[in-house]
Amino acid sequence: MNSNSTKVALVTGAAQGLGYVICESLIKAGYSVVVSDIDADTARSAALALDDSGKKALSVKLDVMQKQDFAHALTFTTEAFGHCDLLVNNAAMTPTTAVMDITPEEFSQVLDINLRGNFLGCQVFGQYFADKGFGRIVNLASLAGQMGGTASGAHYASSKAGIMTLTKIFARQFADAGVTVNAIAPGPVDVPSVRDKVPAEKLEQIINNMIPVKAMSNPAFIGSMVVMLAADEANTVTGATWDINGGIFMR
């Protein structure tokens, strides 16, 4: 890895919410960023908001259910910036459907987007990183995958548990090739999508009664943790899930 070159990251599901904040953190840390999202227009707007010069942030359409989209996004990134150093698998569906109301189709859709999407990203970018001898992958898991969910659906929680296992599998796969793979497992994060999905009264009950520190997770801190895990010096940190949950789950 050439320490003098600007590092480059691609973040999935980055047009808004936590993904967008992660992009902000990476740019502040000196990265160039590719904002990827299934909504090309929203991704383009997000990239412009991050950097209207087009030098530090670009966008690409990426449907995480399509392996060829990951391949295209990787090619786009390397052609635009010369290389890629970090993949952040953030894209996810977060439905709150009651367990007995989840249809087979909805269950499969959530597992495909959240878990298969993560798997495909690790496959495509992980092989690229291994071939060049350096790379970082950070997967967004969730407290829900550790405890079965507080406000999220059973399919969401199951997919996030699977992401933690995939993180270990790919960490082992690429460990001797200069590539690390880690996961971050936030509790409820203070982003608009959480406040939109969880009724205000229920959210206040969760904050006051379930979270020992009585606060939701700060998305900017999650972004700073991504930066930390992607550092050159983090070469011996791999296969781990990092908890940011206000003390709900302690181990």
128 is catalytic: no
> What are the φ and ψ backbone dihedral angles of 188, each rounded to 5 degrees?
-55, 125
Q: Which of 20, 31, 128, 156 is catalytic?
A: 156
Q: For 97, phi and psi rounded to 5 degrees?
A: -55, 135
Find how far residue 211's CA is from the centre of its chain: 22
Cα angle, residue 117 at apex, residues 33 and 189 outer, rounded to 5°: 65
Phi/psi-derived region of residue 17, left when phi > 0, alpha when psi is between -120 and 50, beta in every other case: left
Q: Are 69 and 63 in contact (CB under 8 A)?
A: yes
**Other C-beta atoms lying within 10 Å of the C-beta of residue 220:** 15
Pairwise CA distance, residues 83 & 211, whole Å: 41
> Which residues have a catalytic role annotated?
156
